[in-house]
Structure 1
Amino acid sequence: MSEESGGVVVYWRPMCPYCIRLLTQIRFTQLEFTKVNIWKHPDAAAFVRSVADGNETVPTVTVAGRAMVNPSKGELLEAVRAYAPHLLSGAADGS
């Protein structure tokens, strides 16, 4: 997925309370990101398993290609500041 290399990608699945929480929290930051439903995209599910010890643990997020399994909003924003700070221009920092 091309977004992986330079942006934020949130791998999620429906009915996941952890996904809902993180997605809701980052929506309020105005951070641009791409959502990928692992139940609709087998390649995405395989990627998540590859970085989550064989499990389909979601949310899994990539920031500029660096994977994080079930990060907090603060951890996600810290990774964006470190690896993709250009994505924060215009986004509220509310960490």
Structure 2
Amino acid sequence: MPKYGRVKDSHIKVLEDIVGSEKVSTRPEELYCYSRDSTIFKYRPDVVVRPENAAQVSEILKVANEDRIPVTPRGSGTSAAGLPLPVYGGILLDMSSMN
């Protein structure tokens, strides 16, 4: 059994239902921007999701947990230690819209 699940089209649809399609991206150029921070490392997420509240985060985590999809939270991406990088792909949560 694989260690982690992969994001499928069905997951994308559910994520769009949770936060709205405008808050979910699989565009290569956007994934590239989220694949790096101020380190030399690059790890590309499968999808970027921008939740606006804790309830949305909770629902996203439930979806991810069901299929063992890795989730990486990210604030402004200014880490110099590679902390906000999605090493195993999966869902990258852009938390910048939250208070």
Q: TM-score, normalised by structure 2?
A: 0.33
Higher-helix-fraction structure: 1
